[in-house]
Chain A
């Protein structure tokens, strides 16, 4: 029982990170119907920024500055490379985001170097006692930051004028335009939100273990998450992210014991196997709109 609980807590901790990244993908998808493959690079850029700033201004300050800076980068990227492509085929934009990912990552890698960089988080691997369970502090922090950021985002979408305008623009661009919503500004805003979320996620990915050049791969685990939740559902992305974290964590703990024939390290690919299964059974995800099937 103890092991099960600890495994679940680790799963929810990392799942919170995947959820934050997944929300970023979904927000961009809802505004422009494109999967931004530049998210991994933005996450890594945020993490690197935090690792450099944590010394002078402290971890929390660094996370805040990094989130704002990467949000600004997202704004700039959207304005310079995505906005001119509105109305062009979606695959053109997808390839452009892939190019952006590589260009940004090359620059960021030069700042990381070949070693592991510490992001300067205050937790490390230390644990606190919760009802007799040694729970790592970083997992608690990860869950808290998910609740705060996504909670704020939900409130923003639900109660603010801009949130309403974003929802309107994603529902029907032309009608929203007629009502005086600037659809372009809403797209830019979505890129900024996704960039900020990616930067925060990046900082927390590094908590406890630090970051290296290969850390960007973690952002790819948000892809199963968004498909499980449904590509156009923010709430679904959160649940999908947590589910991916749980599945990965439980496979890491128990698969060697109960399913040894799958080989070791199956937990590495378990999110992607889950992805294939979900696509076969329910391709529009748990909360997605049921219109993706074609043939």
Chain B
């Protein structure tokens, strides 16, 4: 029973940790792309990678201040969005999907290649770039704080304070935009591009704006993640993260302002709770309805594998049976992206 409570506590802690902020921001960007505009972006993680590396390269390689690094990261994300959108947004929706998934892997390969060591530090990545950010913290960074039975370092608290503020601001921005004429055009594009075009809207430009803005949200997420871990490595930005962000979005509910935020928190609760819960279950030697002992079949290292398979299958089942997620509106997600 105590193991169960511990697992529960770890789960609740993970709901608020910087990883949840990371996925919330990725999913807010995807919500704009996929939920509101009907764009299939399968490489959101590339925007996050550019955000994180924008800060890391500017600060630790070029010696620029932290604020400039943020601007570099955002600028890089905008450039990537333009580069990916330019050839594909005039085409059917699956072309953007193909190009983004390929670009995300190509960028990661490029960043971890040996010849990029001077700029990106290759597979080892870059460290020591968040000093300028932590110096802004109003409380002691090194001290540990207990909040409701969970332990946080001062630095972690500062990262998540800024991170959740960002999530709040981005959500407010999306909320305001979706009530504006601009947002209504986006939804019209999602439902029927030809109809939107017949009304004199430049569909290509609207899709491009949506791609850029959502990419910038993704870059912000990457920055929070980079500052939270205190290091950037290419292999942190595996494309599986894009899929998990889609999972968060679909879990919460696409085309809802708070859908991605709720989804990201729930996803991290499930990840942390199932990991520690399953590990405890295997360790305690419980038998499976008296047939065999769990630790004879599973080792604790299998748990992390099993967890990802469960999450992958869970998201697939969600797509099949409840595509609108928890708070979604079924009418909003029955779109047919072509």
Contacts and interface: CB of A to CB of B under 8 A. Distances in A.
Interface in A1-53: 34-35, 37
Interface in A270-288: 272, 275-276, 279-280, 283
Contact of B102 (A100, A106, A109, A224): A224
Contacts of A295: 89-90, 193, 197, 203-204, 207
B110 A90 contact: no
Given A94-B97, A279-B99, A265 B110 contact: yes
B313 A91 contact: no
Nearest to B40: A91
B98 A35 contact: yes
Contacts of B207: 295
Contacts of A264: 113, 115
Interface of B: 34, 38, 40, 42, 83, 86-95, 97-99, 101-103, 105-106, 109-110, 113-116, 193, 197, 203-204, 207, 240, 243, 246, 250, 302, 305, 308-309, 312-313, 315-316, 319-320, 323, 334-338
A269 B110 contact: yes
Given A275-B99, A295-B89, A102 B42 contact: no
B308 A103 contact: yes
Given A283-B91, A292-B95, A92 B115 contact: no
A229 to B, nearest CB: 13
B95 A106 contact: no
A276 B86 CA distance: 9
A166 B125 CA distance: 49
A227 interface: yes
Contacts of B92: 292, 294
Contact of A276 (B87, B308, B316): B87
Contact of A90 (B34, B99, B105, B338): B338
A283 B99 CA distance: 12
Interface stretch (A81-89, A124-132, A135-143, A198-206): A81-89
A186 interface: no
Given A91-B34, A102-B308, A223-B98, A279 B110 contact: no
B86 A280 contact: yes
Contacts of B316: 81, 96, 99-100, 103
Contacts of B97: 35, 91, 94
Given A223-B102, A269-B106, A269-B110, 14 more contacts: A35-B97, A35-B98, A89-B336, A90-B336, A99-B315, A100-B312, A102-B240, A227-B98, A269-B109, A272-B102, A272-B103, A279-B87, A294-B90, A295-B193
Contact of B88 (A99, A268, A279): A279
Interface residues of A, number: 42
Contacts of B106: 268-269, 272
Nearest to A35: B94
A264 B117 CA distance: 11
Nearest to B98: A223
A295 B99 CA distance: 18
A293 B319 contact: no
Contacts of B114: 265
A263 interface: yes
Contacts of A217: 105, 109
A107 interface: yes
Contacts of B243: 95, 98-99, 102
A102 B207 CA distance: 29
B305 A110 contact: yes
Given A89-B337, A265-B115, A279-B99, A294 B312 contact: no
B102 A275 contact: yes
B319 A89 contact: no
Given A220-B101, A264-B115, A294 B91 contact: yes
Contacts of B86: 280
Contacts of B91: 279, 283, 292-294
Nearest to B207: A295
A96 B319 CA distance: 7
A96 B40 CA distance: 13
A89 B335 contact: yes
A228 B269 CA distance: 43
Nearest to B39: A91
Contacts of A89: 334-337
Interface-central residue, B94, B116, B197, by most chain A CB under 10 Å: B94
A94 B92 CA distance: 14
